[in-house]
Amino acid sequence: MENLRESVVESGCRDEAPSPVKLNFFCYDNFELRHLKENQTWEGALEHCRSHYIDLVGATSQDQFDLLSAADKNSMTSHVWVGLRFLTEKWIWVSRSLKHLNFTGSLPSCPAEPYSCGAYNKITGQMENRDCDEKLNFICY
């Protein structure tokens, strides 16, 4: 039950009970991936996902990485944008904190501009840094 966890910070759920009542609660991360077969820059993909869905997909668990690996089979491009970006001297997922970067392969520790956006390579099954202005398919959730 990796997707089921007791958490306030990680899931974004909030305890709405009035003070001083304290209740336990569970949040369930159950999301459907949407593979968009249109080409966008990384910023364009991020804006599209946030306007029409929730966000660009991240791979912050093995289950999510497996879903990502399965979802990209119908891509028209060899790479798809994901919610991975190099900011403030580290790689971060746009929807979560920095974690599970073992799924990112061999990303450079300090990529040259404009190669600071993350894409999933469907051929190698690895994350790669790409030019943020390149137009690729993308995956939202």
* Model confidence pLDDT, tens digit, residues 45-70: 999 999 999 999 888 777 777 777 77
User: 31-140: what fold?
Assistant: Mannose-Binding Protein A; Chain A (3.10.100)
Asked if residues 136 and 46 have their Cβ atoms less than 8 Å apart, the reply is: no
> What is the CA 94 to chain-centroid distance, rounded?
6
pLDDT in tens, 71-125: 656 667 889 999 999 988 888 888 765 555 555 567 888 898 899 999 999 888 8
Q: Is residue 63 classed as helix, strand or coil in its secondary structure?
A: helix
- Do the beta carbons of residue 136 and residue 40 sit within 8 Å? yes
Contact indicator for 27, 14 with CB cutoff of 8 Å: no
- Coil/strand/helix, residue 74: helix
Enclosing H/E stretch for 10: none
Single pTM value for the model: 0.71
**Phi, psi (rounded to 5 degrees) for 132:** -60, -20
For the chain, the structural domain boundaries read 1-30, 31-140
Tell me what pLDDT residue 47 has: 98
